[in-house]
Homo-oligomer: A and B are copies of this chain.
């Protein structure tokens, strides 16, 4: 590990994920945000400028338009690559694949998001499951929000020797708040046409040993996803054993209905009250009192904040591919501390540590 040098990070694509990655990078003591790039020239870029971020235009042809909209442009994608050790690509689905050549041409490490295919990078990343394999690689893919949550939770059960197979129903938020003025669904439920849905196989791209089948449905809300699971355990277990297995992950939060956290809107408000930027929930929030074990079967539900859950993973992926930190646990600890995530074992509303003043 090169302690003497901060990692210079560029973020390409300043949308829902990109802006959170930029904020999170800026909070790491071992990283520096060298700039962000996007093609838009509206309030989103003005907000980036007001945050003090250097703004780049991925296409040279867009520079003039952005400047005429009053945005100070620091350069184009080549300039951003020049300034960075690693690029986090947060461009819309399918666009990243087109950017890979530019990243390679500049000789830069890069990280893609879960909208891209496993094959594009050859490695899929969830810190607790596949950090080691990413160390020093040219690139990795941080898997999608749904897949990340599956690997975290089923992975925790697997590490405790409890997981035989898991069957899940995934309720997916229809669109994100910032773009909910178009493209949403109203007063309906939209099943994914295919069973199994793609999240099961995607989880296996991180851990091929997971026996997991998923079904998915789009629901008319914007706050996040909600997963319901029926799990076949390897043996009869107690609820206490299962909770211990889950609490061993520092990226799982055990919450309680009887603390008043009765619905996903309440969990979001709680995160906002707790002081998380944008009310972000980086953890998988499992309802501890709802979770039920019956003999060899286990049933539970959790919330996934689709805008936030991959942010700590992305930070860890930066340390992995740059080789700045070879120890997964050490990186996870650094990230968690910078993002004020709970220490391992923290549980429920009343036991979260105080945010920094």
Measuring CB to CB, which residues of chain A are less than 8 angstroms from any residue of chain B? 19, 40, 42-44, 46-48, 50-52, 69-71, 167, 169, 171, 174-175, 177-178, 180-191, 193-196, 213, 215, 217, 219-223, 226, 228, 230, 257, 259-266, 268-270, 272-275, 278-279, 287, 289-292, 294, 297, 299-301, 349-350, 352-355, 357
From A14, which residue of chain B is reached at the shortest CB distance? B273
Contacts A177-B268, A185-B182, A188-B223; is A350 near B70 (CB within 8 Å)?
yes
Task: Select A226's contact among B187, B189, B289, B297, beta carbons within 8 Å.
Answer: B189
Task: Select A259's contact among B42, B169, B259, B270, beta carbons within 8 Å.
Answer: B42
Task: Select A266's contact among B43, B174, B219, beta carbons within 8 Å.
Answer: B43
- Per the bound structure, the CA–CA distance linking A354 and B52 in Å amounts to 8
Quick one: copies of this chain in the complex?
Answer: 4
Q: List 10 A-B contacts (CB under 8 A).
A: A46-B350, A50-B352, A52-B357, A69-B350, A167-B167, A183-B183, A195-B299, A213-B299, A215-B299, A217-B301
Judge whether A186 and B220 touch: CB under 8 Å: yes
Judge whether A260 and B42 touch: CB under 8 Å: yes
Q: Which of A174, A193, A265 gathers the greatest number of chain B CB atoms within 10 Å?
A: A265
